[in-house]
Structure 1
Amino acid sequence: MSLKVYLRPEAEADIEDAATWYDRQRKGLGQEFLDDVLVALDTISENPNIYPVVHRQSRRAVVRRFPFGIFYRVDEDSVVVLAVMHGSRHPRHWKKRT
């Protein structure tokens, strides 16, 4: 059974900002980033506990091909995405969203 995935507004902004940045680097790359994020979100929905806990009850999935982590929390019947951040960002940026 898959769980419903909810993106916090900050996580949506993270995704939009990264896609825009990638598209400025090469036309179409932003869409490739979005596609890979969607694949990762589908995997999280289907198997939310497959990824490790990295802080309190927050887990991290890594986006294929791009150096981004999807930080999320599993609730009873849903997944809440807290942040989608570049791997070089300091953990404090997403931890304060938990």
Structure 2
Amino acid sequence: MTHSIHPAAVSEAADAVRFYESRDPELGVRFQAEIFASIERARMQPRLYREFEAGLRKVKTDRFPYFLIFRVCNERQIQILAIAHASRRPGYWKKRL
């Protein structure tokens, strides 16, 4: 399955990487790897993740407090709408729908 990423989600991920790199360069690398792994899990088995709202699913990163919010567009593609911090501004990304 292919994926597309909303431009704002790309910015969110880049901001988070910069934040973690400012604390420790290795943290930035690990965060980025977690995001890539989460994208891969969503891409390979999108329906494994339950809908938390109509048509929307989320994948939790393993070691960081972030969710990958996505939707299944069709049998061949998912769209990643947000790389969202688990406890900041819930639902801010809904305007991207």
Report the TM-score range of the alignment, normalised by the length of the smaller protein.
over 0.9
- In 2, Cα distance between equivalents of 1:20 and 1:72: 23
Work out the CA distance in 2 between the residues paired with 1:67 and 1:82: 17
Aligned to 1:8: 6
Unaligned runs of 5+ in 2: none
Match of 2:93 in 1: 94
Q: Deviations over 1:16-41 (max 9, x none)?
A: 00000000011221111000111111
Q: Residues of 1 paired with 2:8 and 2:41: CA distance?
A: 21
Normalised TM-score (structure 2): 0.93
Runs of 4+ in 1 over 3 A off after TM superposition: none
Q: Who is 1:33 aligned against? A: 31
Per-residue CA deviations over 1:44-69 (Å, capped at 9, x if unaligned) read 11100111212221111001100000
SS in 1 for 2:33: helix
The structure where helix makes up a greater share of residues is 2
Q: Percent same amino acid among aligned pairs?
A: 27
Tell me the equivalent position of 1:44.
Answer: 42
- TM-score between both structures, scaled by the size of structure 1: 0.92
TM-superposed deviation, 1:96: 2.1
Q: 3-state DSSP class of the match of 2:43?
A: helix
RMSD: 1.0
3-state SS of paired residue (1:61): strand
